[in-house]
Structure 1
Amino acid sequence: MQRILFLIFTSSLLFLSYFSYEIITMPGFIDDTVEKSSSEGTIEEGDGYLDEIKELIGDPLDFKSGAPTKAGTNIEQSQSALIQKSTIVTYQVTNDVLSNGIINTANTNQTEYARDTNDHHRLWDTFKTIIPADLRTNVYSFSVFSDGISNLLGYVEPLDYNGDTWQLGVDFIDSIDKKNFYYTLIHEYGHLLTLNNKQLVSNYDWKTFDQKETTYSSFYGESTPDSYMNVYYQEFWIYYYKEWQHLNVQSDSKAQQAFYLEHADDFLTSYAVTHPEEDIAESWTFFILSPKQSNDTVAQKKQNFFYQFPELVETRTEILKNLLTEAKKD
């Protein structure tokens, strides 16, 4: 009797196991595909927003006035006479609100526009819409300037030695081309992302600044080992950084052209060769504004570099969602 009951019990378990397996694998009952990782789902969501953006405004990387080669300014050059001369008005930013606008009275060419506070707020509101609130808390100053069409499109610069607070500057004339303006804002945020006080340490030995030890050194500090900038530098720049310095690529336009032609497959734009910090900002902008690439070239690998960081994949999707909201306003 006990043996009969055991056989019945065992047969029941086998039947239930078989039935359970069929339930798990039965098409249509429960999804029979391998569950996608959260990152893959987030990437697809971002690509969906990007497709909608393209339907509204076309390819965001294709704009008429200016070019990716001009999207931003190297941080070491941010105190240049060009910016000082072309500044129109500068605002304090407190809790995302502009206040205490100071007009540059020396810029007599833009006296009328200096008083157009509505347009100044419009430019700032575009930045607020596109860049998530928790990512722009270190922007304490906003400057509107213009040096004409398609020269300097925008810049960021730290307001303190430790990189805790920053100023964002935009060229109001170049902002007329919406895609141009969107590109610029995302590029400039790329600098804020990679050069903030969580990515750099300011108290390092200035005597060894030019020696470039084990981590990437900016004019304002040394990158931490796990920072985006240092990981990017170690992967893409360490092999020809000294050559780049020796050729004075940062300051010599002919050297820039020659360096780009020699390493054309390594850079997404010719402007990216001007500095490692510009290169990562350009790659960041392409990461946001186009789909994942096939990794056939170093340039494509640079664009895909950010996918290894889940938090940046989420940021990409959030920015694209916000950009879609901004694009629908037009």
Structure 2
Amino acid sequence: MKFLRFLLVSIIVLLVGCEESVEENPVVTVYAKPVSEASSIIEISEQDLELESSGDQIELVNVCYNDEIYIEEEKTCSLKIDCNDTNSCIEWGNKVITDLEADYGSLVYEESVATGNEGISLLASYNVDHEGEMIYTEEKVSEEMMEYHSRLWYSFSWLIPEQYRKAIDQFEVFESGDTLAYVSLHDKYGRYWTLGMNNKDIELASETLVTYLHEYAHFLSLNGSQIDYWVAKEECTSLFLKDSGCFYEDAYLDAFYKKFWESGGHGKIEDFYVSRYAMYSPEEDFSESFAHFILTKTPSGQNVMEEKLLFFYEYEELVQLRTEILARTATWLVRSAGYKPKI
């Protein structure tokens, strides 16, 4: 069944507004990322456009290759990680990217084009059973639709280790001509989240990768461990963003904002942002930069754009996350692109 060519990239982040008195149903703000804004600023040569998915082959065939391990609780194969500290894991990750680029081309290339402006039509909503690695619903959905939507969820959950996504406990599939994906907060304390995916297919696996990681970065930077949703703007002593809330002083986005957005900057756009959509807000810049941090080799820091990628390397836990996601990306791509390494 074709399922990996689905339309996904970007964003609706539904976040609780910070009010002095919190209502039973908190105010939410919607971020929508137009599909037509997805393309990267950086020019990509034709040989870098090789990363096309073949869709039918991503599901696990009950076997891992000899350079992989089987994660039984997640029913997933992952590349064996060969590093033991932060520096060696950075280098190991860079080698994995080099090898993947040699086989598939750029891992961050995007080329979606908007097909309409009809908003979002929800097709189905599911609860996520992380322990059973499955989705379920009380809605009436056909067996074929359930299977297709399960594969959509599985392709995301394959890339993100379970321990890092347990708070994403709802999954929605929708139709839209100009929205690729979203995450939304469905708990006023910032604890539990929904992931939404567009039901339509696209050709590029690289765009799917960027989309997954972009949406995950929203969850990573805007959940209840990062933001105090109960503090009003007048009472916030740290960063307060009107579409997000009051950030804790050790929050990732607080540090990112102070370093790259507080004082502003001037110069060529491509020296500051990894994509055009990153220009929209600190939240979008953080998420776009995070996806490139995972999927590109460590830069030297020649401009602000590269400094934004190096920002994530300051956190050991994010380097560890990068390492684990890249190990899974390698096995995900082998199956999604039909590439079979030597056993």
**Match among 99, 110, 124 for residue 136 of structure 2:** 99
**Matched residue type, 2:278:** A
How far is the alpha carbon of 1:63 from its aligned partner?
3.9
Residue 211 (structure 2) pairs with residue 184 (structure 1): yes
Q: Corresponding residue for 1:157?
A: 184
- Say which SS state the counterpart of residue 169 (structure 1) adopts: strand
Q: Deviations over 1:2-52 (max 9, x none)?
A: xxxxxxxxxxxxxxxxxxxxxxxxxxxxxxxxxx99211000111122223
- Give unmatched runs, 5+ long, in structure 2: 1-82, 337-343
Do the aligned residues in 2 keep the contact of 1:267 with 1:273 (CA within 8 Å)? yes
Name the Cα RMSD after superposition: 2.8
Do the aligned residues in 2 keep the contact of 1:200 with 1:223 (CA within 8 Å)? yes
User: Cα 1:270–1:327, aligned 2, differ >3 Å: closer, same or farther?
Assistant: same
Find the structure with the greater CA-based Rg: 1
Q: Corresponding residue for 2:315?
A: 309
Give the TM-score taking structure 2 as reference length.
0.66
How far is the alpha carbon of 1:66 from its aligned partner?
4.9
- Say which SS state the counterpart of residue 308 (structure 1) adopts: coil
**Match among 102, 106, 109 for residue 55 of structure 1:** 102
- Say which SS state the counterpart of residue 274 (structure 2) adopts: coil
Residue 119 (structure 2) pairs with residue 82 (structure 1): yes
CA separation in 1, counterparts of 2:304 and 2:210? 22
User: Cα 1:271–1:101, aligned 2, differ >3 Å: closer, same or farther?
Assistant: farther
For 1:1-330, list aligned pairs within 5 A: 38-66=85-113, 82-83=119-120, 86-95=121-130, 96-100=133-137, 102=139, 116-148=145-177, 151-206=178-233, 208=234, 214-217=238-241, 219-240=243-264, 263-330=269-336
CA separation in 1, counterparts of 2:247 and 2:102? 39
How far is the alpha carbon of 1:263 from its aligned partner?
4.5
User: Cα 1:170–1:56, aligned 2, differ >3 Å: closer, same or farther?
Assistant: farther
Do the aligned residues in 1 keep the contact of 2:167 with 2:191 (CA within 8 Å)? yes
How far is the alpha carbon of 1:280 from its aligned partner?
0.1
Q: Corresponding residue for 1:4?
A: none
Q: Deviations over 1:40-98 (max 9, x none)?
A: 1000111122223223322111244359xxxxxxxxxxxx9823xx2211111122420
User: Cα 1:263–1:91, aligned 2, differ >3 Å: closer, same or farther?
Assistant: same
How far is the alpha carbon of 1:264 from its aligned partner?
4.3
User: Cα 1:178–1:42, aligned 2, differ >3 Å: closer, same or farther?
Assistant: same
CA separation in 1, counterparts of 2:251 and 2:280? 21
User: Cα 1:64–1:221, aligned 2, differ >3 Å: closer, same or farther?
Assistant: closer
**Matched residue type, 1:50:** I
**Matched residue type, 1:222:** C
User: Cα 1:218–1:47, aligned 2, differ >3 Å: closer, same or farther?
Assistant: farther
CA separation in 2, counterparts of 1:174 and 1:307? 33
Identify the structure with bigger relative contact order (alpha carbons < 8 Å, sequence gap 6+): 2
User: Cα 1:217–1:81, aligned 2, differ >3 Å: closer, same or farther?
Assistant: farther
- Say which SS state the counterpart of residue 116 (structure 1) adopts: helix
Do the aligned residues in 1 keep the contact of 2:238 with 2:248 (CA within 8 Å)? no
How many residues matched? 250
Do the aligned residues in 1 keep the contact of 2:292 with 2:309 (CA within 8 Å)? yes
How far is the alpha carbon of 1:123 from its aligned partner?
0.9
Q: Relative to total residues, which structure has the larger helix share, 1 or 2?
A: 1
User: Cα 1:100–1:175, aligned 2, differ >3 Å: closer, same or farther?
Assistant: farther
- Give unmatched runs, 5+ long, in structure 1: 1-35, 68-79, 104-110, 242-258
Do the aligned residues in 1 keep the contact of 2:301 with 2:307 (CA within 8 Å)? yes
CA separation in 2, counterparts of 1:54 and 1:66? 24
How far is the alpha carbon of 1:213 from its aligned partner?
5.2
**Matched residue type, 1:229:** L
Q: Corresponding residue for 2:15?
A: none
